Amino acid sequence: MNKLKVANRLFIVSTSALLLFLVSYKGAVKQLKPKLFEPENVSTQLVEYAPTFSVSGNEVYFTRSTSKWGTRNMKNAIYHSVKENSKWSTPKLASFSGKYDDSAPHLTSDGQTIYFISKRPLNEGTQSSKDIWRVTKDKNNQWGTPIRLSDSINSEKSEYSPCTDVHGNLYFASNRSGGYGQGDLYMAKKRNETFDVPINLGNTINSEQGEWNLEVNRSGDVIIFESSGRTENLSPYGDLYVSYKLGKKWTIPQAIKEVNTTGSDLYAELTEADTLLYFTSSDSLRSTDTNIYFIPFETISNSYREKARLSKQ
């Protein structure tokens, strides 16, 4: 057999193997389906949303409400569950929550601080908007008294879904004036024990519609957020989108088709190393309930990262 025939056969075999790999890879992505997290324990007939996990994956804080999803003036509280011997404990009310309307907790990488949203009163006055608060553990490893972040972070409007990266930089959503749409995503760089003035993440991510309820991975180069009103949406309420940071710029957001439904899909949470994606969903437009779901994310993320593109503007 001459060298040309051998080369042709090797090319055919290599091409076939590559095609088989691509088909299998795409098939694996399609077969991935979300699973309900802790049914009848964490995910119940009540409204549960916005989970945040410890780095070890053995602690979770989340929001629970007895109100119907989407109703005005929902009363929310933050709950806590611990995983021991492969079993999650019955969730208990967090020590700093329950009296006021608290939601969207975010546990920092060191496990010592929780950022969350609250409408609790400030200085004996009435707090009219949703603001970002922070609570830290004391020397006895107990949660202390929550403190509202400064006016350089909070605005007269509402703030949503605070989260941090491994450097301590703070990301959040807000419907404050001066944005591109109904709600925008912002980042405040950590500076010693304070934060710089928040900067808008720009109009590649933010649109004329609304961007809300975001999650940033530990390294700060993957962002997942809820957006309402985009033409790609399955739901008019909100779908989840992903963007990747290339250099100093964010890529054009892509809808995460593996998780989006006709209901509300929001409050993403990435575990350590970005291997699992947790999120909240109401499943359909008519649903008055939300639950927490999870799905393996590495394969999904790789497929979107391959397609990620920077805006030409």
Superfamily of domain covering 34-307: TolB, C-terminal domain (2.120.10.30)
Residue-level pLDDT at 21? 42
Spatial contact of 91 and 77, defined as CB atoms under 8 Å apart: no
At residue 66, what are phi and psi to the nearest 5 degrees?
-90, -5
Tokens of 74: 């929902």
Q: What is the pTM of this model?
A: 0.89
DSSP 251: P
Residue-level pLDDT at 288? 83
Tokens of 124: 């004996």
Q: Which residues contact 40 (CB under 8 A, 6 or more apart)?
A: none
Cα distances (angstroms) measured from residue 298 to each of 148, 182, 211, 272, 304? 35, 31, 24, 11, 10
- The full set of domain ranges for the chain reads 1-31, 34-307
* Nearest partner of 130 among 107, 106, 102, judged by Cα: 102
At residue 228, what are phi and psi to the nearest 5 degrees?
-115, 145
Q: What is the pLDDT along the chain (313 residues), one digit of tens a residue?
A: 554 443 445 444 444 444 444 444 444 445 689 999 999 999 999 999 999 999 999 999 999 999 988 888 889 999 999 999 999 999 999 999 999 999 999 999 999 999 999 999 987 666 668 999 999 999 999 999 999 999 999 999 999 999 999 999 999 999 999 999 999 999 999 998 899 999 999 999 999 999 999 999 999 999 999 999 899 999 888 999 999 999 999 999 999 999 999 999 999 999 988 999 999 999 887 788 899 999 999 999 999 999 999 998 7
